[in-house]
Amino acid sequence: MKYSFAALAAAALLASPAQASVAERVDEIFAASTTWFVNLIFADLPGTGVPWIVGWLVLGALVFTFYFGFIQVRAFGHALQIVRGKYSDPRDAGEVSPFQALTAALSGTVGLGNIAGVAVAVSIGGAGATFWMILAGLFGMATKFTECTLGVKYRNEYPDGSVSGGPMYYIKKGFAERGLPLGGFMAVMFSIFCVLGALGGGNMFQANQAASQVESVLGVPTWITGLILSGIVFIVIVGGIKSIARVTEKVVPFMGGGYFLVGMAILILNWDMIGWAFGEIIRGAFTDTGIVGGMIGAIIQGFRRAAFSNEAGIGSAAIAHSAVRTKEPVTEGFVSLLEPFIDTVIICTMTALVIIITQQLLIDANTGLYILDENGRIANAEGVGAGVPLTSAAFGAAFSWAPYALSLAVFLFAFSTMLTWSYYGMKAWTYMFGEGETKELVFKLIFCFFIFVGAVSSLNAVIDFSDAALFSMAIFNIIALYFLMPIVKRELNSYLLRLKSGQIKAYK
Amino acid sequence: MPETYLIAYDGSAASDRALSFGAARARASEARLLLAHVLEWSPYSFLSAEEVAERHKRRNDEVGRAKTVILDPVRKRLTNEGLSVETVVRYGHVAEVLGDLAKEFAATQIIVGRTGEKGLQARLFGSVAGTLAQVAPVPCTIVP
């Protein structure tokens, strides 16, 4: 309890004098101190307009797709059977089921990336960005498969039955097993970026979007939402009040389902426009529709948002999946390859379709090109900012109550994603500094502080830093995946052989 | 080959009644007793990332507690009385798991206590005894 009193005291202190200027100052300091890092991560490949990090992720996804012979297609049906429990031994009931592993990992990725990220993608890259986003999602399935299989194979199991796993563990142990140098160094580098990613995409971006949605719908200033979010997260992760987290984890899947159903309803009500919307997506994907950067601009936005949303190649899902007890690491890989599909190919695409169909993006009737505003973004019907407000306007165009429901969903999604990422960040933190109450408390305090910073900062500064931090995790993770993918192939071939011979049997 | 009576036992008053009923019959017919403790569990519920990480440890704790606190004392008592008793702990939907256990251990009958749920709760969720009466693969005795 003493911690929550401290939080209240801190909140009162921050809230009292001239809050607006505090918010502005925080924003200024934040933007100034992160620009160099953002510029480094998003530097263009020489002679092109393509950020090298986007190329890096796409290259990885393509390599894994071809190396494993389109595993996302071959194993898709089998993955569904595993999730349905066809291969689960009834004697293992009471352990985490494949379905629970999938939904737990999804609750970390389905969220604001699907609502806000997609809106950002289409408002900069136009409808065509959707096409590239779907493509990136499909190829990203192979990346997820690779990292989650390794996550399970090289996790640490402790005598008390708990487990720790993730890229830092497979980088270190996998490299040692193959006799490769620098495993320890790369594992630490990954952990550093994972902590930054947890603070950026897993925290500030969420807080920022939740706060701006609550402000635009209910008129509550961002710093208040920031303080409240930061306070609740503080109570849960520092105060150990797990019941709040438990309630959230039970509610969020239904929120996700509800979001999907409302989106589907809008699409069904406008079924005659769906053909036109897909036409727009294809037209935008292959021609210049007047957006900044032309066709390349659409590709970059699509790829960037897909990676941000489904986190394939980032390494985060490997942390979540490695905790699952299974006899075959490959089965976790199979289950995880469904995540980019559900997250990007289904849910993100639905958001994009709703925005396109409700005609939020303004098109010049004479030229067929998008109309740009002064920031180089596509002007929208309601004149709202990119991110959640745009999605909210699109849903509001169909159902007037939708923005309120969306505000609640955004708040809960943001909260659950923050909790999941505080777990990821903590795992990376304890990998570097060791486990211990004080060390963990330091991380948790930093985490809560950044929620507030994220809530009051401007969208651009936060989005750029969040992307940069998340993508930087992919640098070392994907290098490691290249070196370790023969191990995954061995596991895969052995599993498929035994599946065929009937040694791995179905129970249902 | 002696008969096997499968008794659902969770330490509740209802399960105690089932147990004494079953034990009396077993004494008379020299049958073997199989005491089953089934923990309600659905593989389709939602868990948070942390719960996933702690699940195996929790499961070990739960199984351990079920054995030492609930099943072992009864087994000792009945064994001392000269009965042959086995115990088992499982997870899942209670009525379904009891049915599966009956097949697995070739039990000749299942004995459960009736908790006597009434009203809305029983209407919505049904009762173990009620479901079992419908799905049991062997004769089933419901002890009031």
ipTM of the complex in this document: 0.83
pLDDT for A455 equals 87
**Element housing A96 (H / E):** none
pLDDT tens for B21-32 read 989 888 888 889
Contact residues on chain A for B55, CB-CB shorter than 8 A: 95-96, 323, 325
pLDDT for A17 equals 46
Q: How far apart (Å, rounded) are the C-alpha atoms in residues A96 and A99?
A: 8
pLDDT for A214 equals 85
Indicate the DSSP class of residue A70.
Answer: S
Q: Which residues in A189-228 are b (16+ Cβ under 10 Å) and which e?
A: bbbebbbbbbbbbbbbbbbbbbbbbbbbbeeebbbbbbbb
CB contact under 8 A, A103 and B46: yes
Closest by CA position to A422, among listed A180, A242, A280, A215: A242
Count of structural domains, chain B: 1
> Residue A326 pLDDT > 70, yes or no?
yes
pLDDT for A73 equals 94
> Residue A246 pLDDT > 80, yes or no?
no
CB contact under 8 A, A93 and B91: yes
pLDDT tens for A382-393 read 777 778 888 989
Residues A11-25, mean pLDDT to the nearest whole number: 56
pLDDT for B116 equals 67
Residue A353: how many other CB atoms lie within 10 Å: 26
**Element housing A448 (H / E):** helix A437-456
Q: Which domain holds residue B88?
A: 4-143
Q: How confident is the model at residue A254 (pLDDT cuts 50, 70, 90)?
A: confident
pLDDT for B129 equals 80
> Residue A204 pLDDT > 60, yes or no?
yes
Q: Which of B54, B56, B93, B105 to mutate to test the interface with A (most CBs of A within 10 A)?
A: B56
Q: How far apart (Å, rounded) are the C-alpha atoms in residues B133 and B136?
A: 6
Minimum-distance CB partner of B46 among A95, A249, A420: A249
pLDDT tens for A345-380 read 999 999 999 999 988 888 887 777 888 877 778 888
Q: How confident is the model at residue B125 (pLDDT cuts 50, 70, 90)?
A: low
Contact residues on chain B for A249, CB-CB shorter than 8 A: 46-48, 51
Contact residues on chain A for B56, CB-CB shorter than 8 A: 95-96, 161-163, 325
Residue A129: how many other CB atoms lie within 10 Å: 30
**Interface residues of chain A, partner chain B, Cβ below 8 Å:** 85, 88, 90-91, 93-101, 103-105, 107-108, 160-163, 242, 245-246, 248-250, 253, 320, 323-325, 419-420, 423-424
Residues A89-111, mean pLDDT to the nearest whole number: 84
Q: How far apart (Å, rounded) are the C-alpha atoms in residues A127 and A121?
A: 9
> Residue A9 pLDDT > 70, yes or no?
no
Closest residue, chain B, to A254 (C-alpha): B46
pLDDT tens for A227-243 read 999 999 998 888 777 77
Interface A-B: count of C-beta contacts within 8 A: 88
Q: Which of A86, A162, A412, A413 to mutate to test the interface with B (most CBs of B within 10 A)?
A: A162
Percent of the residues in chain A that have a pLDDT greater than 90, as a whole number: 35
CB contact under 8 A, B48 and A419: yes
| Token pair belonging to A501 | 């011979």
Residues A38-43, mean pLDDT to the nearest whole number: 86
> Residue A292 pLDDT > 80, yes or no?
no
pLDDT for A12 equals 46
pLDDT for A43 equals 85
Could you tell me the sign of the dihedral formed by the alpha carbons of A390, A462, A316, A170, in that order? positive
**Distance, in angstroms, between B124 CA and closest chain A CA?**
21
Higher local confidence (pLDDT), A248 or A448: A448
Grouping H, G, I as helix, E, B as strand and the rest as coil, residue A182 is coil
Higher local confidence (pLDDT), A453 or A30: A453
Backbone angles phi and psi of A126, in degrees to 5: 75, 180
pLDDT for B120 equals 62
Higher local confidence (pLDDT), A69 or A1: A69
pLDDT for A412 equals 85
Q: How confident is the model at residue A194 (pLDDT cuts 50, 70, 90)?
A: very high
Closest residue, chain A, to B39 (C-alpha): A94
Contact residues on chain A for B50, CB-CB shorter than 8 A: 242, 245, 423
Within 11-50 of B, beta carbons closer than 8 Å to A belong to: 39, 41, 43-50
Residues A271-291, mean pLDDT to the nearest whole number: 87
CB contact under 8 A, A104 and B46: yes
Residues B56-81, mean pLDDT to the nearest whole number: 89
CATH of the domain at B56: 3.40.50.620
CB contact under 8 A, B46 and A88: no
CB contact under 8 A, A93 and B43: yes
**Distance, in angstroms, between B119 CA and closest chain A CA?**
27
CB contact under 8 A, B63 and A101: no
Q: Which of A249, A413, A427 to mutate to test the interface with B (most CBs of B within 10 A)?
A: A249
Note whether B89 contacts A: Cβ–Cβ < 8 A.
Answer: no
pLDDT for A459 equals 65
Residues A283-304, mean pLDDT to the nearest whole number: 82
Q: What is the mean pLDDT of chain A?
A: 85
Q: How far apart (Å, rounded) are the C-alpha atoms in residues A397 and A395?
A: 5
Sorted by sequence, the CB contacts under 8 Å of residue A242 that are 6+ apart come out as: A236, B50
CB contact under 8 A, A96 and B55: yes
**Distance, in angstroms, between B82 CA and closest chain A CA?**
30
pLDDT for A130 equals 93
Q: How confident is the model at residue A406 (pLDDT cuts 50, 70, 90)?
A: confident
CB A222 within 8 A of CB A498: no
Q: Which of B50, B57, B88, B93 to mutate to test the interface with A (most CBs of A within 10 A)?
A: B50
**Distance, in angstroms, between B135 CA and closest chain A CA?**
17
Within 101-140 of B, beta carbons closer than 8 Å to A belong to: none
Q: How confident is the model at residue A5 (pLDDT cuts 50, 70, 90)?
A: very low
pLDDT tens for A152-174 read 999 988 887 778 889 999 999 99
Q: How far apart (Å, rounded) are the C-alpha atoms in residues B132 and B141?
A: 10
Domains and CATH numbers, chain A: 2-501 (1.20.1740)
Q: Which of B52, B96, B100 to mutate to test the interface with A (most CBs of A within 10 A)?
A: B52
Contact residues on chain A for B43, CB-CB shorter than 8 A: 85, 88, 93, 97-100
pLDDT for B133 equals 81
